[in-house]
Structure 1
Amino acid sequence: MDQPTGLRELKKRRTREAISNTAIELFFEHGFDQVSISRIAEKAEVSRRTLFAYFPTKEDLVLHRIADHETESARVAQDNPDAPLAALRAHFLDGLERRDPITGLCDAPEPLALYRLLLGTPSLAARMFQFREVGEQAVAEALAQRVPTLTARFAAAQIMVVQWRLCEDNYEAVAGGTSADDAYPAAVEAATHAFDLLEAGLGRTLGFA
């Protein structure tokens, strides 16, 4: 008897998570380049074919952990067409307050290890650049509902560069030994200043405030 669609999807999600978790554990312990796909499949108790059905590339095993954030800024802008910059500011500051790992301001061991893995592995760093480009394009598409496409593209580039710079600075602070709580005031100050600059440059001219 065929399984209900909901149950099949649940089993798929669990299998995907189990494979990814196994891979991440091995990468943390041995390094990304030192762990083969065959070793991951064996440890996860799946075939190589099954692994590739869920994760087409080795890098996807890691990027899966942050996939939901790829177009997060675009969703915020999309949901707030009359004030996307104000919404993005509020969203980022809320992330800092919650110590959301995607803001870089998180000193929990696993997010820190994941950051080191992403930034310290050339192939993963290259995929992170693609990740950022996809996010930028999505923001541009959201903004283009209100302003000309070229304007939206340049605005999206500035927004994403600022957000990534803030995230990287926060990560460098906690990776250097500063606790997330101690780094929080400076992170808020930097984010506030950065969005002030964005709104001064984009908001008044383009109505993005």
Structure 2
Amino acid sequence: MALRERKKLRTREAISTAAIELFVEHGFDQVSITQVAEAADVSRRTLFAYFPTKEDLVVHRFADHEDEPARVVRARPADQSPLVALHTHFIERLRAHDPFTGLTDLPQVLDLYRLLRGTPALMARMLQFNETSERELASALHETAGTPELTARLAAAQIASVHWTLAMSNFDRCASGTSAPKALPTAVKAANQGFALLSSGLAPLWPTTEGSP
């Protein structure tokens, strides 16, 4: 990566970090863009060049995961169904305590989660994030599994909803004080239940001889 790009990434991270620290301490609605710019030592113009909206200062932290389900579907072995691939991946990430699954007790991640949960504007922005993830997943199902477009959209909506519910439940559990290792068995059981419910309706779309993880 070129020096210019590395500097831009560092600036972007510095702005976001300053913003989140202020939001966690004082509340999202109580902190102005001017205060964020001052804390990050940049101008308002520079801040908006990196983050078009105030909500983007927070939600961009999830950007790497936006197309994760779609990437899992596209990268799966040829003989593996999309649903089994997604189930296997989710269980693997649970065991790694990946914030993608909500099963994490890292203080900075839990602070970010509490900020999201307590801020309607951020939760609304997360719904847009989920819609994009859902569209990407639908495209992957259509293009790699021969699933008709409408069917792929309906399947993606169900999968995305189950993932969101599982992740939020895990975050709630960890935010209440349960450590990630202690919460793992319950989280795995819930994930298996969620994907079993999905399988009862979606498995006929993608016949496979491979079982669940």
Aligned counterparts of 2:47 and 2:86: Cα–Cα separation in 1? 36
1:71 to 1:208, Cα distance in 2 relative to 1, 3 A: farther
Which runs of 4 or more aligned residues in structure 1 lie more than 2 Å from their structure 2 counterparts after TM superposition? none
**TM-score, normalised with respect to structure 2:** 0.92
**TM-score, normalised with respect to structure 1:** 0.94
Q: How does 1:47-126 map to 2 (within 5 A)?
A: 47-80=43-76, 82-126=80-124
Instruction: Write the letter of the residue equivalent to 2:150.
Output: L
Secondary structure of the 1:144 match is helix
Question: Where in structure 1 are there 5+ consecutive unaligned residues?
Answer: none
Equivalent residue for 1:162? 162
Equivalent residue for 1:31? 27
RMSD: 1.3
1:172 to 1:208, Cα distance in 2 relative to 1, 3 A: farther
Aligned counterparts of 1:61 and 1:30: Cα–Cα separation in 2? 15
Equivalent residue for 1:201? 201
**Partner deviation per Cα, 1:87-132 (whole Å, 9 max, x = no partner):** 1111111111111112111111111110011121011010011111
Aligned counterparts of 2:172 and 2:5: Cα–Cα separation in 1? 38
Instruction: Write the letter of the residue equivalent to 1:106.
Output: T
What displacement does 1:155 show?
0.6
Of residues 107, 128, 139, the one that matches 2:126 is 128
Task: Work out whether residues 73 and 85 of structure 2, in 8 Å CA contact, stay in contact via their aligned partners in 1.
Answer: yes
What displacement does 1:197 show?
2.1
Question: Where in structure 2 are there 5+ consecutive unaligned residues?
Answer: 209-213
- State the identity as a percent: 59
Equivalent residue for 1:189? 189
Task: Work out whether residues 85 and 208 of structure 1, in 8 Å CA contact, stay in contact via their aligned partners in 2.
Answer: no
Task: Work out whether residues 82 and 206 of structure 2, in 8 Å CA contact, stay in contact via their aligned partners in 1.
Answer: no
Aligned counterparts of 1:208 and 1:11: Cα–Cα separation in 2? 48
What displacement does 1:198 show?
1.6
**Partner deviation per Cα, 1:115-172 (whole Å, 9 max, x = no partner):** 0111210110100111111111111111112111011011101111111111111111
Instruction: Write the letter of the residue equivalent to 1:69.
Output: H
Instruction: Write the letter of the residue equivalent to 1:206.
Output: L
Instruction: Write the letter of the residue equivalent to 2:63.
Output: A
